[in-house]
């Protein structure tokens, strides 16, 4: 295997160190596996960090009921290949109430089926540290996020209560009821993630690559209709188009863009030419100004 460029080697070593630190410092950590490219990289790094042993923690997927089918297939296949323990949790209350993005809007849906569901799963299993794939370059309020991000009881994120992180000397201590979020990819950019995926040949969900898919236009976004639950409004029609996705989420909330990038090289090339930010395709972030910060305070990952 050709060796990595120096900057990726440093980022890789840093992330491995953070993963080992989590395993060594917490009683019951978990890897929050969202099936996107970032958590695929974290999973890959975790395999390296603990080799020749197996992962010392399980994977947790918060299924909202509106995940792309391709993601679920990919999830089950990867977990089986790696031999990892996979926990899938869906908010039973939300399910009983029939909460969904079309009937209740993206805010309510993400809050009940995403944020609340995550808290339920963490509480239910007593996880004291949850590893995620978030990066500081994703969004402005993320730029100040810690690598080890402290959550008060109730999973509350207090921006002013965060601990300074000096050298690699992370303060991993928590009190009763408190938890930690851990972000090994804090210092990676979207380009680093793709360059690393390409260099290491890490499997990712096929939705990242262009294919002919059934799409419709709604509120300015191109939605791939993944099942029949989305009724067409007057004037809307399904068109088969060459599209791909830059981020993964619930299918009614994730915008596709037209693309013919079918290979890794083509995706990298397209990305380098792009002048639109990664989160642009996420319909949940533009709800309100500073929406990410608010969601985080409430316990969003």
Q: Other CB atoms closer than 10 Å to residue 183's CB: what's the count?
A: 25
Residue 21, sorted as left (phi over 0), alpha (psi -120 to 50) or beta, turns out to be alpha
Q: How far is the CB of 176 from other proteins (least distance, A)?
A: 9
Q: How far is the CB of 130 from other proteins (least distance, A)?
A: 18
Q: How far is the CB of 173 from other proteins (least distance, A)?
A: 4
51 vs 212, beta carbon nearer other proteins: 51
Q: How far is the CB of 54 from other proteins (least distance, A)?
A: 7
Q: How far is the CB of 301 from other proteins (least distance, A)?
A: 17
104 vs 142, beta carbon nearer other proteins: 142
67 vs 192, beta carbon nearer other proteins: 192
Q: How is the beta sheet containing 129-131 ordered, strand by strand?
A: 86-89, 59-62, 29-32, 129-131, 179-182, 148-151
19 vs 71, beta carbon nearer other proteins: 19
HSE of 176 in the Cβ direction (CA atoms, 13 Å)? 0
Q: How far is the CB of 192 from other proteins (least distance, A)?
A: 8
38 vs 195, beta carbon nearer other proteins: 195
4 vs 86, beta carbon nearer other proteins: 4
Binding residues for other proteins (CB under 8 A): 1, 4-14, 16-17, 20-21, 23-24, 48-54, 136-137, 139-144, 159-160, 162-169, 171, 173-175, 178, 186-187, 189, 191-192, 195, 199, 268, 272-277, 280, 289-290, 293
């Amino acid at each position: 295997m050709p060796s990595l460029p120096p900057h990726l080697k440093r980022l890789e070593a840093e992330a491995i160190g953070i993963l080992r630190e989590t395993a060594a410092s917490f009683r019951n950590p978990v890897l929050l596996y969202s099936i996107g490219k970032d958590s695929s990289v974290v999973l890959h790094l975790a395999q390296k960090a603990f080799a020749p042993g197996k992962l010392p923690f399980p994977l947790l997927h918060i299924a909202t009921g509106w995940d792309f089918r391709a993601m679920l297939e990919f999830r089950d296949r990867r977990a089986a290949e790696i031999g990892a323990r996979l926990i899938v949790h869906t908010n039973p209350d939300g399910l009983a109430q029939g909460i969904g993005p079309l009937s209740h809007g993206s805010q309510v849906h993400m809050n009940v089926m995403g944020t609340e569901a995550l808290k339920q799963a963490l509480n239910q299993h007593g996880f004291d540290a949850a590893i995620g794939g978030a990066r500081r370059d994703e969004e402005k309020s993320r730029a100040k996020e810690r690598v080890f991000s402290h959550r008060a009881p109730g999973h509350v994120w207090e921006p002013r209560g965060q601990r300074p992180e000096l050298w690699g000397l992370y303060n991993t201590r928590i009190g009763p009821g408190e938890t930690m979020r851990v972000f090994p990819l804090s210092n990676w950019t979207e380009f680093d993630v793709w360059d690393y995926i390409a260099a290491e040949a890490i499997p990712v969900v096929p939705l990242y690559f262009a294919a002919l898919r059934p799409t419709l236009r709604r509120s300015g976004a191109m939605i791939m209709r993944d099942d029949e639950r989305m009724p067409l409004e007057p004037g809307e029609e399904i068109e088969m188009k060459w599209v791909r996705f830059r981020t993964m989420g619930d299918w009614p909330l994730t915008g596709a863009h037209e693309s013919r990038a079918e290979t890794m090289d083509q995706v990298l090339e397209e990305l380098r030419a792009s002048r639109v930010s990664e989160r642009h395709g996420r319909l949940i972030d533009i709800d309100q100004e500073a929406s990410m910060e608010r969601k985080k305070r409430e316990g969003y990952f």
